[in-house]
Amino acid sequence: MQFDPDTDLGPYGEALGLEFKTVGGDEVTAIWSARPELHQPFGIVHGGAYCSVVETLASIGAALWYGDRGKVVGVSNTTDFYRAMSEGSLTSTATPVHRGRSSQVWVVETEDGDGRLVARGQVRLHNLEAPAS
């Protein structure tokens, strides 16, 4: 499997404004901004935006690692928020914790421009084996 962030992200992923730096089956890193379009009513980045970035990066990494064996689907996403952000650059990095026959677990950490942890999420994904042809 290959992934091209310019064509394969889809409209929802594009709305997050991710700029990919590393894309592979061992790590996915993207830079994005705490911009007003992602704010909740109190002027800080909505928790759902962090969850979406976590799910997106983990899914890309897991799919690239699983490759042509089939597809992966997220079954659990738990994201904790540590620092409120209203503006500035964010860097999110996804790395695997477990990669097995039927499932994978990836952790995604998001840091601000000063390297401080802003959010940390964990995604469990199920590996769906491609049908035999």
Catalytic residues: 55
Q: Provide the residue type at 56 as one letter.
A: T
Q: Each residue of 51-73: pLDDT tens digit?
A: 999 999 999 999 999 999 999 99
Section 2-6 average pLDDT: 73
**Average pLDDT of the chain?**
95
- What pLDDT, on a 0 to 100 scale, did the predictor assign at position 65? 97
Q: Each residue of 11-56: pLDDT tens digit?
A: 888 899 999 999 999 999 999 999 999 999 999 999 999 999 999 9
In order of their start, the domains of the chain are: 10-129 (3.10.129.10)
Q: Residue 121: pLDDT band by 50, 70, 90 thresholds?
A: very high
